[in-house]
C-alpha cells in the first residue's frame, strides 16, 4: 500500500455521506477490498471543487447502505505516495478488485456519476431496486 507523505489529523467523526480521507488513513479507507471507493482529491480554494461539493454529497447519500464509499481528500494538506494529482478536482475510482485506481474522466453532474457507478460498481448488480428506481 502507498505511504502517506503529509496528513491532517484523523477526523473525530467521519459518518457523513462523504468520508474524509487523510494521508494516514488512506490505505485503511481507500484500500478496503470490501468496498468500492470513489475519491475526490480537491483543493479548498478550487472553484470547480466547490461547485462539485453538493453533487458529491448527493452521490454519497445515493449510495448509503451499499458497499460504495464516496470520499474526499484535501490534497493541499494530505499526500499519498503513488497518487499523482495534476489538477483539481481529480476523481479516482477504486473498485474492490483494483486498488490501483481508475481515473474518472466523465461528466460532473449527479446523473453522470450514478450512471458510472451503475456500470462499474459491483454494488449495483443487475436487478438492483435502487438502480431501477433512481435511474
Instruction: Tell me the pairing of strands 102-103 and 90-94.
Output: antiparallel
User: Residue 80's CB: how many other CB atoms inside 10 A?
Assistant: 25
Among 44-48, 70-74, 116-120, 130-134, the range scoring the smallest mean pLDDT is 130-134
Provide the pLDDT for residue 1. 57
Domain 19-134 CATH class label? alpha beta
List, for residues 89-128, the tens digit of each pLDDT value. 999 999 999 999 999 999 999 999 999 999 999 888 644 4
What average pLDDT does this structure show over 57-84? 95
Domain borders along the chain are 19-134
Could you write out the DSSP letters of every residue in 30-86? HT-TTSEEEEEEE-TT-HHHHHHHHHHHHHHHHTTTSSEEEEEEETTT--BTT----
Provide the pLDDT for residue 131. 43
pTM: 0.90
Q: What percent of the chain has pLDDT over 90?
A: 82
Provide the pLDDT for residue 4. 64
Amino acid at each position: 500500500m502507498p505511504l502517506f507523505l503529509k496528513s491532517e489529523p484523523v477526523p473525530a467523526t467521519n459518518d457523513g455521506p462523504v468520508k474524509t480521507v487523510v494521508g494516514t488513513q488512506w490505505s485503511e479507507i481507500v484500500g478496503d477490498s470490501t468496498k468500492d471507493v470513489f475519491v475526490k482529491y480537491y483543493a479548498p480554494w478550487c472553484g470547480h471543487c466547490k461547485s462539485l461539493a453538493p453533487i458529491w454529497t448527493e452521490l454519497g447519500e445515493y449510495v448509503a447502505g451499499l458497499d460504495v464509499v464516496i470520499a474526499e481528500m484535501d490534497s493541499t494538506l494530505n499526500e499519498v505516495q503513488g497518487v499523482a494529482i495534476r489538477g483539481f478536482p481529480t476523481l479516482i475510482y477504486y473498485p474492490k478488485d483494483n486498488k490501483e485506481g481508475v481515473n474518472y474522466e466523465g461528466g460532473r453532474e449527479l446523473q453522470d456519476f450514478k450512471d458510472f457507478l451503475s456500470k462499474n460498481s459491483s454494488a449495483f448488480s443487475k436487478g438492483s431496486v435502487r438502480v431501477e428506481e433512481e435511474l
